[in-house]
Structure 1
Amino acid sequence: MGFKDSFVSRDLMFSLGIEETSGRFYLSFPVSNGLVDYEEYYEIDKTSFDLFQADLKVADAFAMTCRRRERDDLLIQKPGVKRGTAI
């Protein structure tokens, strides 16, 4: 998979982009499991992708639901046994 960020919010610690192989849009954020830091990628639709870039409050609210693991159904890559927590 080739994740390509097109928007990054350093303050809110999330990115928006497109997975190049499938063309799916995503929101991602860093996580850590104590051994390694990595990103979790959550699939979003084009409407959300456009909205999140225009309204960072809405994007941050969505990212918070993902950080609380309330949107795991949208994970593009399922986590392993030692799943990290949001940084």
Structure 2
Amino acid sequence: MKFTDLFVSREYRFSLGIEEESGRLFLSIPVSNGLVDYEEYYEVNKATFDLLENDVEAAIEFARRCKNREMDDLLMVKPGKLRGTAI
């Protein structure tokens, strides 16, 4: 998988982008498990991506829900045993 960020919010710690091989869109958040920092990628459809791209408040709320693990059904890569927590 090749994830490419199209928009990055350093302030709110999320990014929006596309997975190049499949064309799937995502919102990602940084996480850490104490050993390594990495990103979790949450797949969104085109309508949701467009909303998040154009409405920062909606994007902040979506990222908050991802950080609280309320959107795990959208994870593009399922976490391992040592799942990190949001940074």
Structure 1 length as normaliser, TM-score?
A: 0.98
Distance 1:46 1:18 in 2: 11
Counterpart amino acid of residue 60 in structure 1: I
Q: Secondary structure at the match of 1:39?
A: strand
CA drift at 1:79? 0.4
- Paired position in structure 2 for 1:19: 19
Unaligned runs of 5+ in 2: none
- Paired position in structure 2 for 1:67: 67
Q: Secondary structure at the match of 1:70?
A: coil
Structure 2 length as normaliser, TM-score?
A: 0.98
Distance 1:25 1:57 in 2: 19
Identity of aligned residues (%): 64
- Paired position in structure 1 for 2:78: 78
CA drift at 1:57? 0.5
Distance 1:86 1:14 in 2: 10
Q: Kindly tell me the number of residue pairs found equivalent between the two proteins.
A: 87
CA drift at 1:60? 0.7
Q: Secondary structure at the match of 1:47?
A: helix
RMSD of aligned C-alpha atoms? 0.5
